[in-house]
């Protein structure tokens, strides 16, 4: 990752990047490599992995740049989930399409900005203008919209197999690999996952994994 170079105030802004395009990740890495006051701490294509990195204080960025169109989730989904955990991260969306098309949804999800991927000078400026912590009012507003995660404090107890399925998916494992490791059929694996999501009151796998991480169910 990029070398720490404090700005004039002595602060270093920690930035994480989530995008499913390897070329975009490479360009952003180069873009911030020599930028004073910014440290690029991680880049990933995995939405669930990005959420886990944000939840861990050791890898938590001040700012996360998020592609609006991802595999299995959207940038809005990622931002909503992060907002639900009451962690102070400034979320900036990136898109190759019209920024105006996302304006309202981005605001409701708690995003600070949506910018064009191709407008790198604007992207740098927006990142550098970011505070090191999100305003408390922003966090409260985002949580009011995405209150479902905040209410999941005491889910029904997951069985060992139900927890194992979500944990393996959180590690980026493919369904076929998990079937082989757990020695179960695809239908049985699906059944474990669905029961786990129902107990967690999660809408999808990514949200279920995020809840497990938050409640330390994988520890």
Which of 49, 20, 45, 16 is CA-nearest to residue 32? 16
Question: Tokens at residue 141, please?
Answer: 């507003």
Burial group, residue 71, by CB count within 10 angstroms (0-12, 13-18, 19+): exposed
Buried residues in 73-95 as b, exposed as e (16+ CB within 10 A)? bbbbbbbbbbbbbeeebbbbbbb
The domain locations on the chain are: 13-150, 152-214
In this prediction, residue 154 carries a pLDDT of 53
Q: pTM for this structure?
A: 0.60
Element (H, E) at 42: strand 38-44
In this prediction, residue 130 carries a pLDDT of 67
CATH number of 13-150: 3.40.50.2300
Which of 33, 44, 37 is CA-nearest to residue 67? 44
Q: What is the DSSP letter of 211?
A: H
pLDDT in tens, the chain (219 residues): 555 555 444 578 999 999 988 888 888 888 888 788 889 999 999 888 898 889 888 899 999 999 998 877 889 989 888 887 777 899 999 988 888 888 888 888 889 889 888 787 888 888 887 665 434 333 333 333 334 333 334 567 899 999 999 988 887 788 899 999 999 999 999 999 999 988 888 888 877 887 787 777 887
CATH architecture, range 152-214: Orthogonal Bundle (1.10)
């Amino acid at each position: 990752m990029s070398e720490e170079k404090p700005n004039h105030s002595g602060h270093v802004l920690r930035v994480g990047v989530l995008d499913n395009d390897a070329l975009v990740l490479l360009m952003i890495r180069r873009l911030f490599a020599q930028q004073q006051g910014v440290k690029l701490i991680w880049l990933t294509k995995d939405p669930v992995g990005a959420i886990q990195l944000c939840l861990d204080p050791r890898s938590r960025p001040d700012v996360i740049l998020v592609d609006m169109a991802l595999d299995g989730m959207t940038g809005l989904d990622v931002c909503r989930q992060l907002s639900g955990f009451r962690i102070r991260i400034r979320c900036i969306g990136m898109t190759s399409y019209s920024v105006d098309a996302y304006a309202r949804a981005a605001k409701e999800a708690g995003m600070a900005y949506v910018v064009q991927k191709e407008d790198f000078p604007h992207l740098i400026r927006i990142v550098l203008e970011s505070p090191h912590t999100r305003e408390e009012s922003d966090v409260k507003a985002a949580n009011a919209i995405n209150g479902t995660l905040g209410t999941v404090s005491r889910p029904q107890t997951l069985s060992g197999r139900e927890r194992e399925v979500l944990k393996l998916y959180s590690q980026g494992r493919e369904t076929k690999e998990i079937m082989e490791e757990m020695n179960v059929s695809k239908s049985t694996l699906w059944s474990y996952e669905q029961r786990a999501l129902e107990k967690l009151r999660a809408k999808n796998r990514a949200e279920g994994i995020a809840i497990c991480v938050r409640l330390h169910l994988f520890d």
